[in-house]
Structure formats: structure tokens, C-alpha cells
Chains A and B, each alone.
Chain A
Amino acid sequence: MADQAKNDTVSPAENRSTPILQKEVASQISPTPLPRKPKQDRPPDQDPGIWRMSRRSLLSVAGWMGFLGFIVVSTVGALRYMFPRVLFEPPTKFKAGFPQDFVIGEVSEKYKDEKRVWIVRQRDGFYALISICTHLGCTPRWLPGDDKFKCPCHGSGFYRSGVNFEGPAPRPLERASIALADDGQIEIDRSIKYLYEKNEWGRPGSFLPFIG
């Protein structure tokens, strides 16, 4: 294309592969090619000056940049649109009543439906198990008679401690952060988790020492 544009002697009609008839007509109109006027969108030969590209190329690039910019910004905007700012979900941190409300040796299912947490009271304190099966995320059931958690989906079983012993679950249940709030109530934060396989069950926060 650039070579063709530089060839000043060729008239536009001859430039293309047009039928002979049109060529003849064109040659009749301008039998001898006129001297070409200097074009504004093209720098003089051998002197590009500040113009590194023709006006046409510049506008073309600008147009495409604008189009691509629009597409990119729209895509990013559309992606951001899919991430809601506000979630209408229960808060992860909640107060679960006073320690005296729980019976020693019992697994409390009081907060299972609403918060998906079991609160287990032992002789020496509390721990909170998140009631999400570590296999595929169903809610297991606490079976007091068998002294185990049993998942209805695929049959995973967990001891009272949360350690898995049967079924497809690959790791123990997760424990949530448990502490005493200033007003003396138990405070549980589900967003802070302690994993057995990472040796986190001994950490403060995974267990609430309490005797009384």
C-alpha cells in the first residue's frame, strides 16, 4: 500500500484492478496524469519532521485505542459489578450466651441452624466446631447416642473432638475462635479458624479454659 501511495503518476482509477472499460473512461478524462499536489497528511519525502505517522494512521490508532480502552474499562466495570459490596448474611462474630448456660459434657446445637457452629463444653472449658463437613460442605448432624458427628451427604463421621474417623472427609472439622467478652458472654468469631492439620488447635482462641 505504501508503495502504491508513493507512486504519484498513477491515477486513482488505474490504481485498482478495475475493468478495462472504466480504465478507458478514466484515461479519457485525464489522458496525462496531473502533477500531484503535496498532501497535508503526508510529510515531504526524507523529512518526516515531527510526523512519525500519517494523519490517517494516527486517527486510526487513536480510534482503536479508544475502542479497546472502552472495551477494557467496560469489562473491568462489569467484573467489579459482580462483586457485591454489602452481603445480607449473618455476621461471623456473635455472642453465644453465658458459660453457665452450657452443660458439661454436652454438644450444644443451639447455634447450628443460625450460625453453623457447635459449642462443646468439657470439664475444663469450651471449644467451637464449625458445622461444615470438610468433605464437600454439608452440615453434619450430632448423634448423641453414637457420640459422633455424622454427615448425611456422604457419610463422613467425626469424633466429639472434631477429628474425622470414617467416610470420605479428608480432615477434621474446623474450630472457630472462642473467647469471653467483656460482659462475661461467650464470643465466637467464625471468620477466625483453627485447623487441626496445621497444629492450630492448641493455640489460644481455639479453646476457652473455663471451670465453674
Chain B
Amino acid sequence: MALMEKFKKSEFYKSIFRHSYQDTQRNRALQIVDNVFLHLHPVRVPRHATNIGFTWGMGGITFLLFLVLTITGVILMFYYRPTAQFAYEDMKYLMNDVPFGPLMRNMHRWAAHAMVLTVMLHMFRVFLTGSYKPPRQFNWMVGVILLVLTLLLSFSGYLLPWDQLAIWAVTVGTNMARATPLLGHEGPFGPELGMRINNDVRFVLLGGTEVGPPTLLRFYVGHCIFLPLIAAIFMAVHFWRVRKDGGISGPESRKNF
């Protein structure tokens, strides 16, 4: 014990844990502020913010699912090769022979389905509680971008098993891009602007004129690197903005409780 006390008084310990355990207002605030992970939390939480009935905790659950998806996704990347030759077999390998492979893939899949749901429920809650109103308009817009990014992540991940369901679902999905105004070869003013099947927005998306190996690679890179990165940046803005706008919204009369 004496050793522990000595250790706690050492410069090494103090340089990491910069405050004592004393249960004072100041210490409790410092514990939050001095920690890179905890500082995302507000130092003081209004009483109404802990009311599950008000927030449903949907934003937090969505973020938790995003973390689950990131971790399980990275784990899946150890076995999955995004080429037409191997993708389907690697998925089968993961599901049948890799230890805990089915658990990781199922967690990834179910968390992905759940995240789409929780994002929508979160949006619904924000709408019902009027939390999109001033000063939170900007954060609503950031949220809409995050919703779109979630759907794009879901869609791009759908192709990666490279089975018939995936290929045809993405074929159907990307065929809609043909009709993009100005940028699609079957969309309004597309042909007039020189859009053909091999130079329009769908062509960039697919890396060809039909869903093929280049599409798999493009969707893989988008799913694993580009989209999560963009989503993480917008999430940082989203969370920061919640704090800047006065924390989780609550009833007017109890706002400063």
C-alpha cells in the first residue's frame, strides 16, 4: 500500500492522472476535461438529458453500432479479398472455416442493418422533440448528410459478398444512376451534354459499363476507406455541434436545470 501511495505521488503517475480521486465538483470536471476520450462528453449533463424516454439514446446507439462496424469490418478485412476471383469464396470461408468468422460477419451484417434503423429512429426522435429548431438547424443538415452516408455505406457493403443477390441488387441500384440529370446517359439533358454509357456518372461508379470486377474493387475501397472517413469527419462535427448548441435539447423550462 505504501508502495502504491509512493507510486501515486510519483511524477510518472501524476503526469498521466493529473488529479486526485477526491470527489469534488472540480475534480469531477477535471476527470472529463483531462481525458482525450472522455472530453467528448459534456462536463455537466443536464438532468433531462439522461431521460431515456426523451432521447431514446438513439444517437448514442448509432455511434456504438458504427464503432462495432468499424471493428468487425477491420477484422473481416484480414480474410476478405476484393477481387471477383476470391470475394465470394472468402465470404464462404469466413462463414464456414474461420474461427469466429461467422460471428464477426454476422455482427457486421446485423449491426449494419440495425444502424440504418437507429439512424432513422434518431432522426424521427429529433423531429418529434423539435430538436432541429434553432439553434440546431445546422446540425440537422449534418445529420442528413450522415443519413445519406449511412445508406451509401450500407449499399456499398451489400455488393461485397459477390453473390447473385449482391450483384443484381447493385445492378438494379446503379441503373438508377443512368437517369441522373445532366450526368447520366439516360437522364434529362444527359445525352445533350455528351453522356454515353461509357462516360457518365454510372460509368465512374461501376468502373465499367456493367457491374464487374472493377465495380467490386471500387465499392470495396469506398466502403472501407472513403465513406467511413467522410462519415467520421461529419460525426465529429455532429457531436461537437451538439455541445456547441447547448447539449442535448430539452424542454424549454428545464433547459438550465
Interface set of A (CB-CB < 8 Å, partner B)? 82-84, 87-89, 136-138, 153
Contacts and interface: CB of A to CB of B under 8 A. Distances in A.
Contact of B207 (A84, A138, A153): A84
B212 A89 contact: yes
A82 B199 CA distance: 10
Given A82-B204, A83-B203, A138 B209 contact: no
B172 interface: yes
B204 to A, nearest CB: 5
A188 B199 CA distance: 23
B204 A87 contact: no
By secondary structure, the A interface counts as loop
A89 B203 contact: no
Contact of A89 (B168, B172, B176, B210): B210
A88 B216 CA distance: 14
Contacts of A153: 168, 172
Given A83-B199, A88-B213, A153-B168, A137 B208 contact: no
A84 B214 contact: yes
Interface residues of B, number: 16
Interface in B208-230: 208-210, 212-214
B172 A83 contact: no
Contacts of B209: 87, 89
B175 interface: yes
Contacts of A87: 198, 208-209
A137 B199 contact: no
B171 interface: yes
Nearest to B197: A191
A137 B172 CA distance: 6
B168 A84 contact: no
Contact of B208 (A84, A136, A138): A84
Contacts of B208: 84, 87-89
